Chains A and B, each alone.
Chain A
Amino acid sequence: ETGVTQSPTHLIKTRGQQVTLRCSSQSGHNTVSWYQQALGQGPQFIFQYYREEENGRGNFPPRFSGLQFPNYSSELNVNALELDDSALYLCASSAWGGPAFFGQGTRLTVV
């Protein structure tokens, strides 16, 4: 098992609401990336944080935002939830340039 932990594991939200997902990175890792994995598909890159700054973003709208804290843990915030936001949200931590190790994910259901 990796040292990457995510919370909560499951979440049900109503369309239009806001959600915050959390990730604790593995010890020694300073980079956190977030991915969205729809059912039956590969993970899609949302964005990456390195030393508390966003330094890369995928094709996701601004209502997807994040934070990284001095201890390198991270949050993913999604505003104005849509039904299509239902997915498994994965956090991956790495040392800069090193392999990425994933958390167990948060299963978000928007109803």
Chain B
Amino acid sequence: GENVEQHPSTLSVQEGDSAVIKCTYSDSASNYFPWYKQELGKRPQLIIDIRSNVGEKKDQRIAVTLNKTAKHFSLHITETQPEDSAVYFCAALREGGYNKLIFGAGTRLAVHP
């Protein structure tokens, strides 16, 4: 069935370091890949997304890369700050059908000052 695996489950970095979170999806028809940030007790917040016709997308300190052949996509955060601390979820969706997002299990990122 449809599945998204996400690694690592926890990530601890020093302020200013980079953080990388990786996801693998199973449905080869998936063509839209959003990333959400969820702070404790808050809603998941869309931070960046990528479609399958693009290999990389960047927005200031965050970037996402996609390897369709390997069915991998990754979130890269550079120059991490304490306010980046949160749980990050990757998701995959097959556009053209209904908007069923398949989420990974999440990565708890802790950025230490």
Contacts and interface: CB of A to CB of B under 8 A. Distances in A.
B103 A44 contact: yes
A100 B101 CA distance: 9
Interface string A67-111: 000000000000000000000001010101101111111000000
Contact of A101 (B42, B46, B98, B100): B46
Contacts of A18: none
B79 interface: no
A43 B103 contact: yes
B103 A48 contact: no
A22 to B, nearest CB: 15
A99 B47 CA distance: 11
Contacts of A101: 46
Nearest to A56: B98
A61 to B, nearest CB: 17
Given A48-B99, A96-B99, A100-B101, 13 more contacts: A40-B106, A42-B6, A42-B103, A43-B101, A55-B98, A58-B100, A90-B43, A94-B99, A97-B95, A99-B34, A101-B46, A102-B44, A102-B45
A67 B49 CA distance: 29
Nearest to B106: A42
A31 interface: yes
Interface residues of A, number: 28
A43 B106 CA distance: 10
B98 A50 contact: yes
A45 B102 contact: yes
Interface string A23-56: 0000000010101000011111100101000011
A103 B95 contact: no
Contacts of A94: 99
A39 B51 CA distance: 29
A14 interface: no
B89 interface: yes
